[in-house]
């Protein structure tokens, strides 16, 4: 069944050989949205963590939005972006964005004061302090945020693709449900699980490379 879904030749129906295109669509949406979430989330988190003024300005809004389940954004995102893949991408972006920004903020805020003193005493100043102390010290938290965000991204792509998106793993699962093709549903779930797992392994690999110094953070 998974074989037919992937390569065709057994049932030769609408689902046969379609896994590739579904997979490509979902993967590109997830990574595009995830990358955007990281590109916006990490700098914003660094700013919120470092600048009390920006924290006061932005943090209450973020904390208020955070408890709202991202799936509740689905109707709104359809109004914003129309029925289609853009709404799904927005959903994924939003879902990945929160853990990334919040963990980055936490990472910056919890940098030991002692390290700033040590750096200052060794002649490190201003922007250089940010690059040489804040960023590396916050790196473990940033990675936590990325891994959490990545998991949520896969979770949301399926939700996002379930309505009004023709191609994508979520769409395939939804179609499978409506046509009572439980095998397609299960195949879709397996593929998502496996892809998510592989990406997470990649993040872990990156994590272990960059955070070689931190024994608690090698997973």
Measured from the CB atom, the residue of 67 and 113 that comes closer to another protein is 113
218 binds another protein (CB under 8 A): no
162 binds another protein (CB under 8 A): no
> How crowded is residue 182: how many other Cβ atoms within 10 Å of its Cβ?
11
Range 35-38 contact pairs with CB under 8 angstroms and sequence separation of 24 or more: 36/93, 37/92, 37/93, 37/94, 37/95, 37/96, 37/97, 37/100, 37/149, 37/153, 38/96, 38/100, 38/146, 38/149
Tokens describing residue 140: 């473990």
- Per CB under 8 A, contacts with another protein among 119-138 are 119-124, 128, 132-133, 136-137
Measured from the CB atom, the residue of 8 and 136 that comes closer to another protein is 136
Measured from the CB atom, the residue of 12 and 112 that comes closer to another protein is 112
Measured from the CB atom, the residue of 88 and 133 that comes closer to another protein is 133
How many residues contact another protein, by CB under 8 A? 21
208 binds another protein (CB under 8 A): no
Q: Candidates 2-10, 54-62, 96-104, 208-216: pick the segment binding another protein (CB under 8 A).
A: 208-216
Distance of alpha carbon 62 from alpha carbon 71, whole angstroms = 17
Q: Candidates 83-91, 92-100, 187-195, 209-217: pick the segment binding another protein (CB under 8 A).
A: 209-217
Can you say how many angstroms the Cα of residue 96 is from the centroid of all Cα atoms in its chain?
A: 4
3-state SS class at 168:
coil
Residues that bind another protein (CB under 8 A): 114-115, 117-124, 128, 132-133, 136-137, 139, 211-215
């Amino acid at each position: 069944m998974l074989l037919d879904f992937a390569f065709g030749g057994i049932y030769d129906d609408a689902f046969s050989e379609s896994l590739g295109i579904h997979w490509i669509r979902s993967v590109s949406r997830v990574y595009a949205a995830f990358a955007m979430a990281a590109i916006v989330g990490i700098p914003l988190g660094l700013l919120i963590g470092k600048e009390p003024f920006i924290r006061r300005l932005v943090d209450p809004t973020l904390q208020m939005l955070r408890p709202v389940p991202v799936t509740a954004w689905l109707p709104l995102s359809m109004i914003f972006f129309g029925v289609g893949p853009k709404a799904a991408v927005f959903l994924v972006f939003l879902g990945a964005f929160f853990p990334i920004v919040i963990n980055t903020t936490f990472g910056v805020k919890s940098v030991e004061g002692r390290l700033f003193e040590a750096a200052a005493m060794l002649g490190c100043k201003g922007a250089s302090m940010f690059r040489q102390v804040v960023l590396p010290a916050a790196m473990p938290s940033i990675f936590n945020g990325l891994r959490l965000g990545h998991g949520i991204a896969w979770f949301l792509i399926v939700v996002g693709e379930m309505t009004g998106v023709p191609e994508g793993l979520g769409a395939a699962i939804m179609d499978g449900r409506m046509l009572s093709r439980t095998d397609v549903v299960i195949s879709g779930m397996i593929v998502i699980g496996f892809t998510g797992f592989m990406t997470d392994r990649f993040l872990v690999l990156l994590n272990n490379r960059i955070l070689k110094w931190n024994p608690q953070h090698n997973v």
